[in-house]
Structure 1
Amino acid sequence: MTGVAITGLGLVTPAGIGWEATWRGLCTGVSTAAPDPVLDGLPIDFSCHVRDFEPRAMAGKSAWRLDRFTQLAVTAARLAVEDARVDTAAWDADRVAVVMGVGSTSLETLEKEHGKVVRSGRSASVSPLTLPRAVPNMAAGEIALQLGVHGPNLTLSTDSASGASALGTALDLLRAGRCDMVLAGGAESPRSSRFTALLFSQMATLSARCDTPATASRPFDADRDGFVLGEGAAVLVLERTEHALARRTARVRARLLGFGASADAYHPTGADPTGAGVSLAVAAALRDAGLGAPDIDHVNAHGTGTVPGDLVESRVLGRLFPHRPPVTANKGALGHALGAAGAIEAACAVLSLEHQTVPPTANLDSPDPQVTLDVVAKTPRRVRMDHALSTSYGFGGQNAVLVLGR
C-alpha cells in the first residue's frame, strides 16, 4: 500500500485559530483551561474553549443557521483549503470528497429547543431549523455546500476516535480511486451544551479542579483526576500523491501511510485492561503502512488524563514500543474535543514531523511511576523522526490508529 499526501492543515482549537497558533500554544506547554461562562453554576464550570471566534467572519454569512460544531468545521475546512493552495475555481469538484468525524452534535440546539417546549408547552415555539442544525452529518454537508464539492460526503461517529476514523476512511477512498482529494477531519463542541457537560460530570470522568482549572488536564501525571472538556475542529487536505504533484502549487507537508481500527468488545465506557483491542489497531496500522514497531519515532498519545485510561495506554504502548519513542499528549494543553480530538492530534503529529519537534505534555509535574513511557514534559524536544503514530480511543471500545510519515 502507498500513502497519500497531506497538503493542507486547518485547525481551530483553544490555542488559537490556524495551525500556527495551535503549534505555538502546544509548544508553550501551558493549558488553555479556564472558567467557562457557558458552564457557570454547574459542578464542573471550566473548559478548554476557543476564544476570539467570530462565526460570521470565519464560517461565512450562513453562520447564523449553524450550530457551533459546524461553524468550527467550516472554518477549519476553509483554512485547510487555503493552506493547501488549492484553486477552488479550477478543481474537479466531482472528485473532491468530504469525510468528517463527529462524536455527537453536542446537544446544543436540541437542549435549547426542548427547553422552549418545556417552558411554553407549545410545539409551535420550536425552530424549524432544529434538525438541520443538530444532525451530526451537517459538518460534512455544510463544508460541501459552502465549498461546492460533489464527491462522497460522509460522517463517521466512533466517539473520541471519530476524527481519526474519518482520516482512515479518507485514506481508503483515495487508495480505491474514488476521488482525487478528500477534506477529512473532525469537529465537536461538547462544552456548548450545559446538559452534555453535566452528563460527563455525572460519570465522574472530568477533572474536579474548579479552583485551579489551568492545572486540571494532566495526562500521565500521578495527580491526574480526569479530563477537561474541550472543543475545536481540524480538517486535513489529503490527495493522491500524483494529483498533488500535478497541481504544482501543492506542498506535501507529510504523508498518511496507514490506518488500523478495532473494537475492545469489553465495556460500554471502560478500556479493556489487557489492551488487546489497542494492540490489534496498532498492528493493523503498522501493517497497512508497511512498517514495523521500531520504525516509529514519535507517538501522539490519546492521553486523556483519566486514572485507568492512561495506565492502560501506557502499558500497551510500552509493550509494543520497547525502544521508547518520545510521547506527547495534546489534551494536556487543549482539553478533550471528543469527536474532533483524533483529527486535531493527527494534525499536531504532522506539525511534529515538519518541525522535528515533540511539544511537551502540559501539567506533567509529577510523572506517574507506573507510566514507563518517555513522555515529553516542560519544554519542546528536538527529535529526529521520519514516522509518527497517533492513537485515539472512544466509548464503545472504539480504537483508531494512524501512521504518518515525512
Structure 2
Amino acid sequence: MSGGTSAPAAAPPVISAWSAVSPYGLGAPALVDGLRSGRPTGAPVDTARWRVPGGTAHLVPGFETRQVLGKKGTRSMDRVTGLAVSAVGGLLDQPEADRERETGERAGLVLGTTTGSAESMMDFTRTSLEGEAPFDVDPAVMPNAVMNCAAGQCSIWYGIRGPNTTLAGGRTAGLAALHYSARLLASGRAGSVLCAAAEEFSRARYWLERHSRGDQDVALGEGAAVLLVQRPDAVSPGRPPLAEILSVRTRVATGDRVRPVLEACVASALEAAGARPRDVWAASPGDAPGRLGRDERDALTALFGAEALERVPGVGRLGDVSAASATFQIAFLLATAALSDEAAGRLAVVTSADRDGSLVCAVLRLVAA
C-alpha cells in the first residue's frame, strides 16, 4: 500500500463570547467589574425566605425570575432554569451577537448541572406523598423535576433548534459540557454551541450539602455562565475568537489517588495540546471544598508554580457554585486575559475535581482581542 499525504489537522474550536449571571450581578460587565474591584460576594442568608439556619451565602443579588425574564411563561419556572435562561439571553442580547448563527437549526445547547433543581424534585415528590392520591400534583411543576428542564427552556425561549444536551457531572459538569460542545462541532452536528452550566441556591440543596459534607462548613453560591463555542471558520466578524480549545482530558480517582491521577490527567491534556508545563501562563483550579480542593491546587502549583495560579482570581470567591464552577473559571480566565497585555497567545489550564471521583483538565490558548 503506497503512502499518501495525510489530511491537515482540523483547526481547534474557539470560544468567541461569554456571559454570566453571578453573585456580582447580571451579565458579563457585572462579573468583570466585580473581579476588577475584588469585592466580596458573600452576605448573610435570609433565613425567613430560604428556611435554613443563619450563615453566609453567595446569591445573585436581587434575582427573581419573573422580574428578570418577565411574567409570561415564568409562573412555574424554578430558580436554576431562570438563572440558565437569563445567562443565555445575556449572551444572545449582546450587541455583537449574530442571531442567525447562534440560534436556529444549526445551533446547539449543552448545559452542565448537578441534578437539575433538587428543590423542584423534592417538592414534586413531597406533594405526591402528601396529597390524597399520588397523582394529586401540579402538572405545570412536573417539567421542573426533570434534569433537562433548564436546557429545554433555554432552547424554547431563544429558538435554538439544534442538539440539546444536559450533562450531570457536579463540579466537572462545565468542562464535560465544553468537551461535548467541541465534539458536536467536530462531528458536524452543529455550527455553533451555547455551552452553559448552572447551579441554584435552595433549601433542598443546602440540606443535601449539609448532611453529605459532615463537619465541613461550606458557603454555597449560585449562578450560571455560558460560552459561545464555534468552529474558527464560522465566527461572525463581531465576535472574534477569545480562546482556542486545544484539548480536554478526563480521569477518575478518589482519596490518596486524586493528586497523582490529576497530574496524569493534566499531562495527558498538555500532550494532546502539544504543550509542556513551562508553556502554561495561567492555571485555574476548581476550588473544591476540603482536601479535594487542596490536592487539586497543590498539584497545579507543583506543575506550574504559584504565579500561574495567581494570575486568575479563584472561583471560590463566588462560594461553592458546584456545577457552574468550571464555566465560571473559564469566564474568569477570559475576563482576566482581556485586561492583560501579556495573555495573548499564551496557554491556560483549567481543572475541575468532583468528590465522586471525576477529574477533568482543559487546555486553552488565549487569543488576542
Query: Greater RCO between the two (CA within 8 Å, min separation 6)?
Result: 1
- The TM-score bracket by the shorter chain reads 0.7 to 0.9
Counterpart in the other structure of 1:88? 99
Supply the AA of the counterpart residue of 1:86: A
Going from structure 1 to structure 2, the CA distance change for 1:398 and 1:90 (only over 3 Å counts) comes to closer
Of residues 287, 306, 320, the one that matches 2:303 is 320
Going from structure 1 to structure 2, the CA distance change for 1:323 and 1:43 (only over 3 Å counts) comes to closer
**1:110 equivalent in alignment to 2:121:** yes
Count matched residues.
Answer: 354
Going from structure 1 to structure 2, the CA distance change for 1:94 and 1:118 (only over 3 Å counts) comes to closer
TM-score (norm 1): 0.79
Q: State the Cα distance separating 1:49 from its structure 2 match.
A: 0.7
Deviations 1:79-98 (A, max 9, x none): 11233723325767221111
CA distance in 1, matches of 2:243, 2:94: 13
Supply the AA of the counterpart residue of 2:62: D
Q: State the Cα distance separating 1:324 from its structure 2 match.
A: 4.7
Q: How does 1:109-128 map to 2 (within 5 A)?
A: 109-117=120-128, 119-128=130-139
Unaligned runs of 5+ in 2: 1-8
**1:32 equivalent in alignment to 2:41:** yes
Deviates more, 1:231-240 or 1:195-204: 195-204
CA distance in 2, matches of 1:276, 1:241: 35
CA distance in 1, matches of 2:359, 2:258: 14
Unaligned runs of 5+ in 1: 209-226, 358-381
Counterpart in the other structure of 1:155? 166
Counterpart in the other structure of 1:46? 56
Going from structure 1 to structure 2, the CA distance change for 1:90 and 1:314 (only over 3 Å counts) comes to closer
Contact 1:166 / 1:184 at 8 angstroms: preserved in 2? Answer: yes
Counterpart in the other structure of 2:245? 256
Counterpart in the other structure of 2:69? 59
Counterpart in the other structure of 1:72? 83
What fraction of aligned residue pairs are identical, expressed as a percent?
27
Going from structure 1 to structure 2, the CA distance change for 1:156 and 1:120 (only over 3 Å counts) comes to closer
CA RMSD of aligned residues (A): 2.6
Deviates more, 1:94-103 or 1:296-305: 296-305
Supply the AA of the counterpart residue of 1:146: W
Of residues 296, 300, 304, the one that matches 2:280 is 296
Deviations 1:191-210 (A, max 9, x none): 22x232112112346764xx
Contact 1:103 / 1:338 at 8 angstroms: preserved in 2? Answer: yes
Deviates more, 1:335-344 or 1:47-56: 47-56
CA distance in 2, matches of 1:276, 1:173: 31
Going from structure 1 to structure 2, the CA distance change for 1:182 and 1:40 (only over 3 Å counts) comes to closer
Q: State the Cα distance separating 1:124 from its structure 2 match.
A: 4.9
Contact 2:121 / 2:144 at 8 angstroms: preserved in 1? Answer: no
Counterpart in the other structure of 2:4? none
Counterpart in the other structure of 1:364? none
Aligned-partner SS, 2:90: helix
Counterpart in the other structure of 2:347? 387
CA distance in 1, matches of 2:215, 2:242: 35
Going from structure 1 to structure 2, the CA distance change for 1:145 and 1:46 (only over 3 Å counts) comes to same
**1:130 equivalent in alignment to 2:144:** no
Of residues 223, 232, 236, the one that matches 1:232 is 223
CA distance in 2, matches of 1:202, 1:143: 32
Contact 1:261 / 1:280 at 8 angstroms: preserved in 2? Answer: no
Going from structure 1 to structure 2, the CA distance change for 1:173 and 1:89 (only over 3 Å counts) comes to closer
Q: State the Cα distance separating 1:184 from its structure 2 match.
A: 0.3
Going from structure 1 to structure 2, the CA distance change for 1:129 and 1:281 (only over 3 Å counts) comes to farther
Going from structure 1 to structure 2, the CA distance change for 1:311 and 1:302 (only over 3 Å counts) comes to same
Supply the AA of the counterpart residue of 1:240: R
Contact 1:297 / 1:387 at 8 angstroms: preserved in 2? Answer: yes
Q: How does 1:178-217 map to 2 (within 5 A)?
A: 178-189=189-200, 191-192=201-202, 194-204=203-213, 208=217
Contact 1:303 / 1:329 at 8 angstroms: preserved in 2? Answer: no
Supply the AA of the counterpart residue of 2:245: L
Q: State the Cα distance separating 1:302 from its structure 2 match.
A: 1.0
**1:355 equivalent in alignment to 2:344:** no
Deviates more, 1:382-391 or 1:311-320: 382-391
Counterpart in the other structure of 1:338? 322
